[in-house]
């Protein structure tokens, strides 16, 4: 269980500022969904958490700064699931999930029996044992995505950082992967921060949504507060209908202009 606090987080690429002073607190066990058009700065915020891009300002986990911790400590705090993971086709599923144990292995060390058992257990729980000896190149997109989540889980990090985790999957596998994250979050009390394109799915799984536009937060709150037709029209430049199901689910439906 870990909370994460952003203090004036700013990310620049050269002279271009892509995130302007992002400030927010994600409480322990919460799922924060970052939404916004392409280039809004969602990925940059996520990548700043895990230290892949340089940033100013601060990211604090449980009150202490991420930048002050060692590289492997950071890796053991926040696990990253990238948008388009590079998965060597000749690596086995087990080898891939085992990479998640890297933060716990000394520089010259190798994984212990405990590490191997732990990875085996993670694969078991995610029902991925049958893929342990298979090569990644032989697996489908959905199976590979679940292995990426398995790798993230193997780090035992209390914070899960998901960057468009399902954008390459069909609707069934999107749902399967997100359900898996939701279940793991419940079981392990994980704090989740995700960037998502599909607004309906974002609203369905996140406790809270933050809408970014050109690196600035323009709306934040419960899904029904953020997912409003006027707001989306203003920042995405789209015509949508926002429909509310009887059970409270918010559905964002794209509209076409009538041609006749």
Partner 1 sequence: MIAVVLSVLLGAMIGPAGPVWWRVPLALIDHLPMISIDSGVSEREWAIIWNIRMPRVVLAGLVGAMLSVGGASYQGVFRNPLVDPYLLGAAAGAGLGATLMIAIWPGVGADWPVDPVPAVAFVFALGSVAITYLVGASFGGMRTTSTLVLAGVAMVSLLTAIQTFVLQRNSDVVREVYSWILGRVSTARWDDVRLVLPYVTVSGIVLFFHRRHLDLLRVGDDEAVTLGVPVTRVRLIVVIFATLGTAAVVAVSGLIGFVGLVVPHMVRLIAGASYRRVVPLTIAFGAVFLILADIPGRMLTAPAELPIGVVTAFVGAPFFIVLLRTREISR
Interface positions with partner 1 (CB under 8 A): 47, 50-52, 70-76, 78-80, 82, 85-88, 90-92, 95-96, 99-100, 102-103, 105, 108-110, 155
Residue 203's DSSP bridge partners are: none
User: 71 vs 256, which CB is nearer to partner 1?
Assistant: 71
Spatial distance between the Cα atoms of 241 and 259, rounded to a whole number of angstroms:
18
Tell me how far, at minimum, the Cβ of 188 lies from partner 1, in Å. 19
Q: Length of the chain, please?
A: 260
Residue with tokens 């076409």: 256
User: 103 vs 223, which CB is nearer to partner 1?
Assistant: 103
Tell me how far, at minimum, the Cβ of 78 lies from partner 1, in Å. 8
Question: Are β-strands 159-163 and 250-254 bridged in parallel, bridged antiparallel, or unpaired?
Answer: unpaired
Spatial distance between the Cα atoms of 207 and 217, rounded to a whole number of angstroms:
17
Tell me how far, at minimum, the Cβ of 171 lies from partner 1, in Å. 26
User: 78 vs 242, which CB is nearer to partner 1?
Assistant: 78
Tell me how far, at minimum, the Cβ of 199 lies from partner 1, in Å. 26
118: left (phi over 0), alpha (psi -120 to 50) or beta: alpha
User: 90 vs 245, which CB is nearer to partner 1?
Assistant: 90
Task: Report helix, strand or coil for 178.
Answer: helix
Tell me how far, at minimum, the Cβ of 239 lies from partner 1, in Å. 36
Spatial distance between the Cα atoms of 27 and 94, rounded to a whole number of angstroms:
33
At 81, give phi and psi (nearest 5°).
-115, 105
Tokens of 89: 């086709």
User: 6 vs 94, which CB is nearer to partner 1?
Assistant: 94
């Amino acid at each position: 269980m870990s909370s994460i606090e952003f203090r004036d987080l700013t990310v620049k690429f050269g002279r271009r500022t892509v995130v302007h002073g992002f400030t927010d607190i994600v409480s322990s066990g919460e799922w924060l969904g970052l939404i916004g058009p392409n280039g809004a700065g969602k990925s940059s915020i996520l990548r700043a958490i895990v230290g892949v891009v340089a940033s100013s300002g601060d990211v604090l986990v449980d009150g202490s700064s991420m930048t002050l911790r060692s590289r492997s400590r950071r890796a053991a705090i926040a696990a990253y699931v990238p948008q388009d993971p590079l998965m060597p086709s000749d690596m086995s599923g087990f080898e891939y999930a085992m990479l998640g144990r890297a933060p716990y292995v000394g520089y010259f060390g190798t994984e212990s029996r405990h590490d191997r058992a732990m990875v085996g257990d993670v694969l078991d729980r995610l029902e991925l044992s049958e893929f342990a000896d298979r090569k990644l190149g032989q697996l489908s997109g959905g199976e590979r995505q679940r292995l990426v989540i398995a790798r993230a889980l193997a780090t035992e990090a209390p914070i899960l950082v998901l960057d468009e985790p399902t954008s390459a999957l069909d609707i069934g596998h999107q749902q399967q992967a997100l359900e898996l994250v939701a279940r793991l979050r419940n079981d392990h009390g994980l704090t989740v921060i995700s960037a998502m394109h599909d607004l309906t799915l974002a609203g369905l799984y996140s406790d809270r949504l933050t809408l970014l536009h050109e690196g600035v937060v323009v709306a934040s709150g419960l899904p029904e507060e953020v997912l409003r037709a006027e707001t989306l029209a203003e920042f995405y430049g789209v015509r949508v209908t926002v429909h509310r199901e009887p059970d409270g689910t918010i559905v964002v439906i794209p509209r076409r202009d009538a041609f006749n």
